[in-house]
Structure 1
């Protein structure tokens, strides 16, 4: 079977979210990596069952959930393991958080656009480029305290904007 570029893009771009979901169910990075690999093999094998345009994340999370259950069966002989009801509850919470992830990301992008240009630049340098406060101060010809103040104001504006957006979403 020939792999479609769209499926490959969906699979590769969802890896960090899929890993986070699996990790939230297992709480062990090594086990999560193992289950992620198993899940990827199954996703790859079941490409024909996926309809392009439908929710790839939901589909992949369901497959990952069953892989976590299978993995847990293999680990039953260990002393500490979560019971199935608790695991299902954790999976539901993770799914709900994932469902709101995209809307929260969209809201964050919208709020970032509302910052003034100087605040956007400082936020980008600090969080996108991982620059230190000292290097930002040097690059922008500001003091470190001035950079801290700009970041504080930008984060405050973002928090207000995001909270307003979340309130609007809840009320609609």
Structure 2
């Protein structure tokens, strides 16, 4: 893997060095997949969405602005792809299914930990799409509130309040679920 920055690789992709996209895919595939998995809660759909996101990166490579943050641009594409998925599927909250296994912890042998994760995913699935997205971006993907505010075209303080309220709601849902 080269030591080129994401931005340098994307600029190379823009100018026709399409093989550089492979390196960007290697760097971000797992994060994008996990973002999709925690958003749509279906492993097969997440894999399809991840693939479609990188296809869109290639298709819309000319829209990337030199000097801008590649990760932010990529997550904008991912966010739009997830929203398109929900629009196409017309999924309602009661149709969500919790993922069987979280890839990050697939070899975890602690049954209690797996049970807690399963209950967390189930509670997460009960949240409305917008609230779930906030938690996925802030807590699972580690995005800063400033980045989320820019993605959602809102203020940082609004994001902080929404995240706080969503965590409180998730906590209530988590403890309502019987183990």
Which of the pair has the greater relative contact order for Cα pairs under 8 Å at 6+ separation? 2
Larger fraction in helix: 1
How high is the TM-score relative to the length of structure 2? Answer: 0.46
